[in-house]
Chains A and B, each alone.
Chain A
Amino acid sequence: MRVLTIDDSRTILAMLHHTLTKAGFEVLQAEDGQQGLDVLKSEDVDVVITDINMPIMDGIEFIRNVRATGHHQSLPILILTTETSQEKRDQGRAAGGTGWIVKPFDPEKLISVIHRVVH
């Protein structure tokens, strides 16, 4: 299974990479929404995990863009967020986010959330 991880924080990317590869996923990385879109143009992935606050293109806009392109309408997108407030999460969902993961994430929780949204 291939996961695209998008976050402008290298720490978070590294942690996701570690956790996901350990669980047997193949991990692709991007540092902002635009890079994420570029990856999706050429790569097939099973699920996307994206941060919200990023430079160049934030996670909300990324999700909107993904949903706007026809063949990614069923691609599960998980929002990574530290926001415990509902606001960001709702924005992400309104844009088409499938679910969310609250940072800091527990590795097991992360994997189980992925399995909740991927066949």
Chain B
Amino acid sequence: MSDLDDFKATYFDECSELLNELEEQFQAIEEGERGADRLNAVFRAIHSIKGGAGAFGFTGLVGFAHAFETLLDYVRDGRIELVDEVVALCIRANDIVADFVAAARSGETLPSDYGAEEKARFDALCRGESPDGDENGEPMEEFDIEFTPVMVKLPFAEDEAALTLDAEADAFEEAPLAGTDGHWEIRFIPHTDLYARANDPLLLFRELAALGEIDVKALVADLPALADFEPFGVYCTWEISLSSPTVTEAQIREVFEFVDGDCDIEIAQLAAMPAREAAAPAAAAAPDESTPAADEPAVSFADLAAEITPVAPPKPVAPSLVAKAPSSEGAAEEGDQRKNGVQSIRVDLDKVDRVVNMVGELVITQSMLTQQMDENLRVRYQELVRGLEVLAQTTRGLQDSVMAIRAQPVKSVFSRMPRLMRELAQKTGKKIRLEMIGENTEIDKTIIEQLSDPLTHMIRNSADHGIESPEKRIAAGKPETGVIRLSAEQAGGNILIIVEDDGQGINRERVLQVARDRGVVGPDQQLTEEQVDQLIFAPGFSTAEAISDISGRGVGMDVVLSNIKKIGGSVHVRSVPGKGTRMTLRLPLTLAVLDVMLVKVAASPYVIPLSSIVETIQCSRANFSRVPSGAQVLQVRGEYVQVVDLALRFDTPTQVESDSRFVVLCEAEGGVKVALIVDDIIGQQQVVIKSLEENFERIDGIAGGTILGDGNVALIVDVQGLKSSISHQNAA
């Protein structure tokens, strides 16, 4: 049933977009924009979610969405006033819809009463109770509509028989009850409206013919002169006799379902079924006897019947016509469907990833070719060299283009935050304004997907621990309303996402105290202010005395750090007491390809991400000194930088003279520099990152591996990891 899976994937994609849109709409609504457009958009989105859910049999979602939709409908047409309580309820309901969607997607089962409380409030509202009333009365009628989702049956039965008109195969109907007799007389007088809606008596007769043997007569006594014909005029009355041993009145009524109200119709069952052969003549006379007392509104049926000369009994409806397989007509053009009004296409992320991977391999091959061009070859094959240069450029262009396909504005994550903020403000009683900058900054889709939780957590943290209560703020001479600023910007090969608040800053004494109490920091360990700030991300650390409703969801900020690390990013926090806290997420632009500097340590190749390199220095010219603890430091323009000898760090003794080695000066998080000593610097290139963890395990100081042009494996140095391990060593 891969078709169904495909549809589900489409559905969930669509749901994500709709939920985002709902989020935006509700935000605007909450801010006071309560125009019809917004309400309609919200209604449509919920409606679409419900529609798809029905198709897949997500009953819980359908039920809740339906109730929500009904409420929205009431709001839309003004039966319920959209006061703040109702908005809050809608926003809550929106979350519940999102939960239902998420559960449906992951295959989890939500408790059967999930959302029941909200649903009860919908009912109460629709019954006209006040928004804050919480009586749980009987649900109103509208909600009693039974939804019976019908699973989509895919694919079709292979034989075309399944496609023929067969009313008995109708899955929506009960099995036809055997008619007691099986001979029916139907009188049918169309109204003009029937034609105006593009219905056609002939089609109805065809439909009837599928139920049994029919005989159709047109009563044309009222036909005007040809000159007086109106194209949509109705001049005929039709009499149909239908013979079938099994047909029920309900089946016949169903044929006329679409023209109900657009015609007069009488259906009567004859007492005895005439012999088939005699059907036609008998039927002509039959109505007179069988339905003499029929309530005839306008025309006297008996009169008409007496006058008519059966006009060419539209013999029509041969089974071959009725049972025509639709494919006979359309098959030739099948697959030749034109799309209209579509400016974008949807591509499965897997397909994009395949392209990304192949481009990655292409980058490797290209750099391998370049590497193999030694000086001799360069001189002898200048044309080839030029060709390779063009190839390098094209490869780079191709890579950028492929990455651009995966890139998406961070807006999709940012847009969820204002609501979170309002909720937080409400719960804490603090006044907080959220400012957002750089929402259009683009990052790889995979990274964006991983951003939501960490950002949510950081903002909760800022609102909970950072921003003070209005009283405190006024006492401190600050504006009553606190500001949390969420910004995104591109900085070199990284994206920086910054959550900044103008709150009280990190209480370092308390943080350190808690860290010592919990054993995160040893009793004698001395930490710099910055290291203390960074402790809020340490595993097992949480400053909230009582786990609050807000930031305490059972996880600490360490989850933020581990989530961000997972996508190759890092977190840095900087706090000024009384002034505020700034948390910076540094994220890679893309997860796939990295610009690196290739170096050698103990004859093995390593690569260092170019984005973290500040400069390189020859060891002979470097100015090393030792600090009392015994650690080596490097003085660069008046600044002391910690030194890590990669040969020692990775425990791979090197034979290279120390003076002919090199220093690669790198900048880790928060502008902290670290000097890495390597044996040799080979050059700059692009590499495709391969995860070590996937096939091996995580190693401190190593961010991953890569395959070089010559087929050798090089490890990617994790500058941030090395830097923090120094801090630990020094601190210990």
**A binding-site residues for B, Cβ under 8 Å:** 1-2, 8-12, 14-15, 17-19, 21-31, 35, 38-39, 43, 53-55, 67, 73-77, 82, 84-85, 93, 96-100, 103-109, 111-112, 114-119
B163 at the interface (CB under 8 A from A): yes
Measured between beta carbons, the chain A residues less than 8 angstroms from B14 are 9-11
**Is B340 in contact with A29, judged by CB distance below 8 angstroms?**
yes
Could you tell me the distance in whole angstroms from the C-beta of B176 to the nearest C-beta in chain A? Answer: 15
Q: A11-B10, A99-B258 are in contact. Are A26 and B52 (CB under 8 A)?
A: no
A10 to B345 CA separation, bound complex (whole angstroms): 12
**Is A26 in contact with B330, judged by CB distance below 8 angstroms?**
yes
- With beta carbons under 8 angstroms apart, the residue of B54, B199, B327 that contacts A23 is B327
**Is B258 in contact with A100, judged by CB distance below 8 angstroms?**
yes
Provide a sorted-by-A list of 18 A–B residue pairs whose CB atoms are within 8 angstroms.
A10-B10, A11-B11, A11-B51, A12-B52, A18-B3, A18-B7, A23-B163, A25-B326, A25-B330, A75-B198, A77-B198, A93-B261, A96-B197, A96-B198, A99-B258, A106-B150, A112-B170, A119-B200
A37 to B507 CA separation, bound complex (whole angstroms): 64
Measured between beta carbons, the chain B residues less than 8 angstroms from A111 are 163, 326
A10 to B17 CA separation, bound complex (whole angstroms): 11
Could you tell me the distance in whole angstroms from the C-beta of A96 to the nearest C-beta in chain B? Answer: 5
A18 to B649 CA separation, bound complex (whole angstroms): 60
A22 to B326 CA separation, bound complex (whole angstroms): 10
Q: A24-B329, A112-B170 are in contact. Are A104 and B150 (CB under 8 A)?
A: yes
**Is A93 in contact with B197, judged by CB distance below 8 angstroms?**
yes
Measured between beta carbons, the chain B residues less than 8 angstroms from A39 are 340-341
A47 to B580 CA separation, bound complex (whole angstroms): 64
**Is B170 in contact with A108, judged by CB distance below 8 angstroms?**
yes
B331 at the interface (CB under 8 A from A): yes
B347 at the interface (CB under 8 A from A): no
Considering only CB atoms, which chain A residue lies closest to B339 in the complex? A29
Measured between beta carbons, the chain A residues less than 8 angstroms from B339 are 28-29
Considering only CB atoms, which chain A residue lies closest to B346 in the complex? A10
**Is A115 in contact with B326, judged by CB distance below 8 angstroms?**
yes
A117 to B152 CA separation, bound complex (whole angstroms): 22
**Is A18 in contact with B327, judged by CB distance below 8 angstroms?**
no
Could you tell me the distance in whole angstroms from the C-beta of B211 to the nearest C-beta in chain A? Answer: 12
- With beta carbons under 8 angstroms apart, the residue of A22, A28, A82, A84 that contacts B51 is A82
**Is B165 in contact with A9, judged by CB distance below 8 angstroms?**
no
Measured between beta carbons, the chain A residues less than 8 angstroms from B326 are 1, 23-25, 111, 114-115
**Is B171 in contact with A96, judged by CB distance below 8 angstroms?**
no
B215 at the interface (CB under 8 A from A): no
Measured between beta carbons, the chain A residues less than 8 angstroms from B43 are 53
Q: Which 5 residue pairs across A and B have the least CB separation, nearest first?
A: A24-B327, A99-B258, A24-B330, A104-B55, A11-B11
A55 to B342 CA separation, bound complex (whole angstroms): 16
B48 at the interface (CB under 8 A from A): yes
Measured between beta carbons, the chain B residues less than 8 angstroms from A29 are 337, 339-340, 342
**Is A53 in contact with B340, judged by CB distance below 8 angstroms?**
no
B315 at the interface (CB under 8 A from A): no
**Is B170 in contact with A14, judged by CB distance below 8 angstroms?**
no
Q: A11-B55, A67-B196 are in contact. Are A85 and B340 (CB under 8 A)?
A: no
A84 to B382 CA separation, bound complex (whole angstroms): 75
B292 at the interface (CB under 8 A from A): no
A74 to B203 CA separation, bound complex (whole angstroms): 13
Q: A84-B145, A103-B55 are in contact. Are A43 and B338 (CB under 8 A)?
A: yes
Measured between beta carbons, the chain A residues less than 8 angstroms from B47 are 53, 82
A76 to B198 CA separation, bound complex (whole angstroms): 5
**Is A104 in contact with B152, judged by CB distance below 8 angstroms?**
yes
B149 at the interface (CB under 8 A from A): yes
B298 at the interface (CB under 8 A from A): no
**Is A18 in contact with B154, judged by CB distance below 8 angstroms?**
yes
**Is B7 in contact with A11, judged by CB distance below 8 angstroms?**
yes
Considering only CB atoms, which chain A residue lies closest to B322 in the complex? A115
Could you tell me the distance in whole angstroms from the C-beta of A75 to the nearest C-beta in chain B? Answer: 6
B156 at the interface (CB under 8 A from A): yes
Measured between beta carbons, the chain A residues less than 8 angstroms from B163 are 23-24, 108, 111
**Is A28 in contact with B258, judged by CB distance below 8 angstroms?**
no
Other than the given A8-B44, A35-B340, 19 more pairs (CB < 8 A) read: A11-B48, A11-B52, A12-B55, A18-B7, A21-B335, A22-B155, A24-B326, A29-B339, A30-B341, A53-B43, A77-B197, A82-B50, A99-B258, A103-B54, A104-B149, A106-B152, A106-B153, A111-B326, A112-B170
Q: Which of B305-354 contact A (CB under 8 A)?
A: 325-331, 333-342, 346
**Is B55 in contact with A30, judged by CB distance below 8 angstroms?**
no
- With beta carbons under 8 angstroms apart, the residue of A15, A55, A100, A116 that contacts B203 is A116
A62 to B519 CA separation, bound complex (whole angstroms): 69
A116 to B327 CA separation, bound complex (whole angstroms): 16
Considering only CB atoms, which chain A residue lies closest to B151 in the complex? A104
Measured between beta carbons, the chain A residues less than 8 angstroms from B145 are 84-85
A19 to B327 CA separation, bound complex (whole angstroms): 12
Measured between beta carbons, the chain B residues less than 8 angstroms from A31 are 341
Could you tell me the distance in whole angstroms from the C-beta of B140 to the nearest C-beta in chain A? Answer: 13
A32 to B52 CA separation, bound complex (whole angstroms): 17
B696 at the interface (CB under 8 A from A): no
Could you tell me the distance in whole angstroms from the C-beta of B203 to the nearest C-beta in chain A? Answer: 6
